[in-house]
Amino acid sequence: MIRETWCKSALTISKLPGIEYSLNPYVGCQHACVYCYVPSVMHLKRDEWGKTVHAKVNIPSVLQKEIKKRSRGIVGISTSTDAYQPAEKSYELTRKCLTVLARHDWPVDILTKSDMVLRDIDILTRFSDVRVGFTIPTLNDKSRRLLEPHAPSIERRLSALRECGENGLRTYVFCGPLFPDVEKEGVKNCVDVFIDAGAEEIIIDSFHLKRGIWESMASVIPDEEKMIFEERIRGAVKLFSEFERHCRGRITLTRAFA
């Protein structure tokens, strides 16, 4: 269900590293990732996550007025939603906001799980400073279907990553939260695949099991796999040194929130 809503502000001061402002055209996300931290942070009902999305239909016009009053800074798009979830196909709120930002040439950093971002290549190439990142926490699409039931496939994300780079955009992969199916022996393959797709940086992160997240995941994980999933989630940070080893001298590696 999509509900239309009106916002008073478009840009929020951000505490996230590397960005000054957050811009989220939607509240909620149709990708319905079972591990998403947003319901916990925003005190939303986790069992309703992904079922209802609020589209901020006036956000482009609010941004147009607000941008004239704010100090120029990096705008992070999709810090508490995915700006390219299915609703964007019809509402085009992200595209309209990008048009405003491009007109004033504000720096932009986009993080998404969707190849719909390719639709806006014509606008993104107008920016003098823009980065596009793709969340790819696993290369196993079976795991993706389990934990990110309505998000685009890993193959589509990798293809979009490559195409963004081919169009001259700076790109990165957010490999987080690192899925439990990624084992020590598979780290090199992850790094190789991301480099081959043209990523300039890999950002890694582990699961942060805020209230309700493990319970949400446990509801979709087969009973016989729950114990090993939980063990690997809690031990994922041990893989970071493997990422460092295989990235060294090849690609920039950053630990999220380090």
DSSP letters, 216-242, are HHHTTS-GGGHHHHHHHHHHGGGGHHH
Q: What is the pLDDT of residue 221?
A: 92
- Separation of alpha carbons 157 and 135, rounded Å: 8
Average the pLDDT over 9-33 and give the result.
Answer: 96
User: Beta-carbon neighbour count of residue 183 at 10 Å?
Assistant: 10
- The answer to whether 118 and 95 are in contact (CB under 8 A) is no
Q: What is the pLDDT of residue 30?
A: 96
Average the pLDDT over 42-66 and give the result.
Answer: 90
Residue 28: pLDDT band (50, 70, 90) is very high
Is 60 exceeded by the pLDDT of residue 48? Answer: yes
Q: Which two tokens stand for residue 209?
A: 């099991």
Which residue's entry shows tokens 């196993």?
Answer: 140
**Helix locations, the chain, DSSP H:** 38-42, 59-66, 88-91, 93-104, 121-124, 141-147, 154-166, 187-196, 213-218, 226-235, 240-247
Coarse DSSP helix, strand, coil percentages of the chain, rounded to the nearest 5 percent: 40, 15, 40
Cβ-in-10-Å burial (0-12, 13-18, 19+) of 1 comes to exposed
How far CA 57 is from CA of 81, 96, 103, in Å, comes to 15, 10, 20
User: Residue 148 corresponds to which amino acid?
Assistant: E
End-to-end CA distance of the chain: 37
pLDDT digits (tens, 9 = 90+) for 80-127: 999 999 999 999 999 999 999 999 999 999 999 999 999 999 999 999
Which range has the worst mean pLDDT, 7-11, 120-124, 207-211, 238-242? 207-211
Is 70 exceeded by the pLDDT of residue 258? Answer: no
Q: State the chain's mean pLDDT as an integer.
A: 95
Percentage of the chain surpassing pLDDT 90? 80
- Separation of alpha carbons 170 and 133, rounded Å: 8
Q: Where are the domains of the chain?
A: 2-255
pTM, whole model, 2 decimals? 0.95
Query: Residue 52: what are its φ and ψ, rounded to 5°?
Result: -130, 130
Q: What is the pLDDT of residue 237?
A: 80
Q: What is the pLDDT of residue 192?
A: 98
Between vectors from CA 235 to CA 230 and to CA 241, what angle results, nearest 5°? 150
Q: What is the pLDDT of residue 199?
A: 99
Q: What is the pLDDT of residue 49?
A: 81
How is domain 2-255 classified at the CATH fold level? Answer: pyruvate-formate lyase- activating enzyme (3.80.30)
CA 245 to chain centre: 25
Q: What is the pLDDT of residue 234?
A: 80
Q: What is the pLDDT of residue 241?
A: 94
Is 60 exceeded by the pLDDT of residue 78? Answer: yes
Q: Which two tokens stand for residue 19?
A: 């960005």
Q: What is the pLDDT of residue 103?
A: 98
- Separation of alpha carbons 229 and 223, rounded Å: 10
Average the pLDDT over 201-212 and give the result.
Answer: 89
114: three-class secondary structure by DSSP: coil
User: ω before 222 within 30° of 0 (cis)?
Assistant: no
